[in-house]
Structure 1
Amino acid sequence: MSSRKVQRLGLEPTVVERLKKHNVFTCQDLLSKTRLELLKITGMTEPRVINILQVSSEACLPRRTTALSMLTRTNEDECPAFFQTSLRQLDDVLHGGLPAGTITEIAGPPGCGKTQFCIMLTLLATLPRAMGGLDGAVAYIDTESAFTAERLVEVARCRFPSHFNQDASFVSLTSRVHIYLESTCSSLLSRLQHLEEELITKGIRLIILDSVASLVRKEFDSSHLSNLAARTNLLSKQAAILKYLAESFSIPVIVTNQVTTRIGAQRASLQDPAVDEGSAGTVDDCRGDGGSYVMAALGNTWSHSVNTRLIFQYLDESRREVLVAKSPIAPFVSLVYTIQDKGIQLEDAGECIPPTVNLGTDPGLQKIRVRTSLPLLQ
């Protein structure tokens, strides 16, 4: 894509430095220059400048591949095809874990454990390959100030006591987790646009965005069609960047999403005709008053941007349920879990179940159970 960094084009280091001195950092910057400008900037001959433009143009094109190369890539040790969650039943259902090179969404109401799951995944990504980890750093983009280093250390100590038994191991863990606090949609988009260089220099093997819905729901009023169009455009840009990073670096990208209340069947034709009340509903029912119900936020356009959707929802006061609501390889499966000191813990084996509501096969319309009575951890 056009935001690809020039240092990833295979150019000579001296050429890259000359380009950077003239504020040419991406393919878009390079392609916006004329041949004459590039001749002056690089000091190279015209054939070499034409070759650089050709290389840059090809880098912006969608990557072509074959089924054979995809199959071969899944067997390469340096690029694991799946990121194991350490939850055996869930990994088995997903045929190995969360797929690398794609976007996995964790959707659910407040308190169901979305951030707890992300913190656990952050820990796992830093572990050695022999322990099922990615042996890399993590980019954790926090839009709700929900991440806590204390919880990360607690999960590490409780989940892997033999590995994290010295201060040095905790120093190694926390130094590989890079937290980016973003408070506006523009700052988040800018962060994503400049994240590629961070992945290269810091050895990042996992990207987490917690949450994708928080900022857009604060800044865009979806009741106005003009705002809805602008919001959809922004989300599409974010999804495109995340997909590019996931595919280019063969890493998993995790995003969390909030829930919203869809009011009545008469408004079902709108993209996201939602009231921003993520806590509506009851403990055991996903329906609200007047035929309304709770579902994942951001509408159908966003739901089609993610490759895998896991829905976290409530069962009762202590137990919760994860649904594999969308996956190119996994069936619709329900797994029961609890939140403990060591993170998410599954209770029993999963069972293939029919959807809780008859809304076809669109995961964007899957109803979600919520609760409002107890203020639990996000």
Structure 2
Amino acid sequence: MFHRIFLFNLRKTKLKCDFTRNYRAAAFDAGNVQHSVFSFEFIFARLLFLFLRVRSTCLRMAQRQKEKEKQKASASASASVSAVTEEASKSVAVEEDDVNSYTVVDKLEQFGISAADIRKLKEAGFCTFEAIAYAPRKELYAIKGISEQKAEKIFAEAAKLVPMGFTTASEVHVKRSEIIQIGTGSRELDRLLGGGVETGSITEIFGEFRTGKSQLCHTLAVMCQLPVDMGGAEGKCLWIDTEGTFRPERLLAVAERHKLSPQDVLDNVVYARCYNTDHQMQLLVQASAMMAESRYALLVVDSATSLFRTDFSGRGELASRQMMLAKYLRMLLKLSDEFGVAVVITNQVVSQVDAGCGMFQGETKKPIGGNIMAHASTTRLYLRKGRGEARICKIYDSPCLPESEAMFAITTHGIDDVTD
């Protein structure tokens, strides 16, 4: 009986080994069934049969586990983007110790400020206690309908909630360690930037046409919606377009690469077309109100200087242009400080016709804006063309990153690494 079952198992698993033929001969010719059942060949074959079955089962289980983990990661990314969309319909009242680190101005009602005065503050761009504390008093005095006495009371209440004194380097280091960095889609570019585009600061991207400035911004607009562990910031994007280069189709291509819901990605990007410098300033006031109501992670201005070049022409208006540009950059810096968003601005370049000639000429392109732009930007990235679709990014100026370069590529699915 035992030897028949054993032969059946061998036929089923197709084990064509020499010891099976020896076993048959020993079992049937010699008739020593009992000895054959407990022989070395029988035990070895049975163990081999069990090993193969266990190994096959383990491989199937491992494959199923990998598929489940992949589906779970994709579902997590989509759920995060959907959560950002749902948050847009909710009014957010953030406590001073919350992760967003800002307090909405509506809480002034608790200190005797009327709703009408709060509405006037919002219309002037003061949507948080931080905006009031960071602003000079004359800006609050200039608001129609708010007396100096009332303005002083508002300043006093804001100063109580917004810490503006000295602190230790240890505390600053702890806050710096909590900063989120938004991935660019390219590992080499992220490595160059120390992890990605930093939130809470201004990153300037400048270069000639067709160097990837707008393409990088489109990729960042989608990447900022991803979970933090996937290189995102779990927030929405606000886009100010001064050149008409915004393309939703590019957002959909990047969303497809990361397997995100196309509709959710588009809903999480708020867009405004800008036509003059006054409009450009007013849009930042509206942006402040929107950021106080919903979670934003990225503010893109493409480009920051093009309208200033056309609205202020000639040397006679140079001083006025630089003064207005400095005020605009200061407003951007205040938004990054108040709401912790990553501000990404693109900039044009101009050729230096009097820079010399020959091998001693050096770099002939310089960014527009002069020293005002240079001092306002935290990190400055210089993009230039490479071979084919390859582009080169250089750290032009940074308070913490060394001067170095990295290559990236512009693909149909956004910014990616260069492939040989």
Displacement of 1:9 after TM fit?
7.4
Q: Does 1:124 align with 2:223?
A: yes
Question: Which among 285, 292, 315 is matched to residue 386 of structure 2?
Answer: 315
Work out whether residues 264 and 292 of structure 1, in 8 Å CA contact, stay in contact via their aligned partners in 2.
no
Q: Does 1:215 align with 2:314?
A: no
Question: Which among 378, 403, 408 is matched to residue 332 of structure 1?
Answer: 403
Work out whether residues 329 and 376 of structure 2, in 8 Å CA contact, stay in contact via their aligned partners in 1.
yes
Query: Which AA in structure 2 matches 1:326?
Result: D
SS in 1 for 2:283: helix
Q: What is the CA–CA distance in structure 1 between the aligned matches of 2:214 and 2:326, rounded to whole Å?
A: 23
- Which 10-residue stretch deviates more, 5-14 or 108-117? 5-14
Displacement of 1:260 after TM fit?
0.8
Displacement of 1:257 after TM fit?
0.4
Q: What is the CA–CA distance in structure 1 between the aligned matches of 2:355 and 2:212, rounded to whole Å?
A: 30
Question: Which among 332, 335, 342 is matched to residue 252 of structure 1?
Answer: 342
Residue 95 of structure 1 corresponds to 194
Work out whether residues 206 and 251 of structure 1, in 8 Å CA contact, stay in contact via their aligned partners in 2.
yes
- Determine what percentage of the aligned residue pairs are the same residue: 27
Residue 168 of structure 2 corresponds to 66
SS in 2 for 1:91: helix
Residue 134 of structure 1 corresponds to 233
**What is the alpha-carbon root mean square deviation over aligned residues?**
3.1
SS in 1 for 2:387: coil
Work out whether residues 184 and 216 of structure 2, in 8 Å CA contact, stay in contact via their aligned partners in 1.
no
Question: Which among 231, 240, 253 is matched to residue 321 of structure 2?
Answer: 231
SS in 2 for 1:123: helix
Q: What is the CA–CA distance in structure 2 between the aligned matches of 1:146 and 1:192, rounded to whole Å?
A: 19
Higher helix share: 2
Question: Which among 50, 55, 58 is matched to residue 157 of structure 2?
Answer: 55
SS in 1 for 2:116: helix
Q: Does 1:18 align with 2:116?
A: yes
Q: What is the CA–CA distance in structure 1 between the aligned matches of 2:306 and 2:324, rounded to whole Å?
A: 13
Query: Which AA in structure 2 matches 1:209?
Result: V
Displacement of 1:127 after TM fit?
1.4
TM-superposition CA deviations, 1:303-346 (whole Å, max 9, x none): 12101011110133433211111111111111122211111223
Residue 304 of structure 1 corresponds to 375
Question: Which among 260, 264, 277 is matched to residue 172 of structure 1?
Answer: 264
Calculate the TM-score normalised by the size of structure 2.
0.64
Q: Does 1:198 align with 2:290?
A: yes
Displacement of 1:232 after TM fit?
0.6
Runs of at least 5 residues in structure 2 that lack an aligned partner in the other structure: 1-101, 127-131
Work out whether residues 389 and 411 of structure 2, in 8 Å CA contact, stay in contact via their aligned partners in 1.
no
SS in 2 for 1:12: helix
Work out whether residues 91 and 97 of structure 1, in 8 Å CA contact, stay in contact via their aligned partners in 2.
yes
Work out whether residues 6 and 16 of structure 1, in 8 Å CA contact, stay in contact via their aligned partners in 2.
no
Q: What is the CA–CA distance in structure 2 between the aligned matches of 1:6 and 1:96, rounded to whole Å?
A: 29
Q: Does 1:34 align with 2:147?
A: yes
Work out whether residues 95 and 330 of structure 1, in 8 Å CA contact, stay in contact via their aligned partners in 2.
yes
TM-superposition CA deviations, 1:58-114 (whole Å, max 9, x none): 7899675432222222344xxx34222232222223222222211001101111111
Work out whether residues 108 and 118 of structure 2, in 8 Å CA contact, stay in contact via their aligned partners in 1.
no
Displacement of 1:300 after TM fit?
2.4
Larger Rg: 2
Q: What is the CA–CA distance in structure 1 between the aligned matches of 2:177 and 2:233, rounded to whole Å?
A: 15
Q: What is the CA–CA distance in structure 2 between the aligned matches of 1:149 and 1:19, rounded to whole Å?
A: 39
Displacement of 1:292 after TM fit?
9.1
Q: What is the CA–CA distance in structure 1 between the aligned matches of 2:222 and 2:242, rounded to whole Å?
A: 19
Runs of at least 5 residues in structure 1 that lack an aligned partner in the other structure: 39-48, 267-285, 350-378
Query: Which AA in structure 2 matches 1:232?
Result: Q
Q: What is the CA–CA distance in structure 2 between the aligned matches of 1:324 and 1:63, rounded to whole Å?
A: 32
Q: What is the CA–CA distance in structure 2 between the aligned matches of 1:292 and 1:260, rounded to whole Å?
A: 11
SS in 2 for 1:316: coil
Q: Does 1:148 align with 2:247?
A: yes
Residue 243 of structure 1 corresponds to 333
Count of residue pairs the alignment pairs up: 301
Q: What is the CA–CA distance in structure 2 between the aligned matches of 1:93 and 1:150, rounded to whole Å?
A: 28
SS in 2 for 1:118: helix
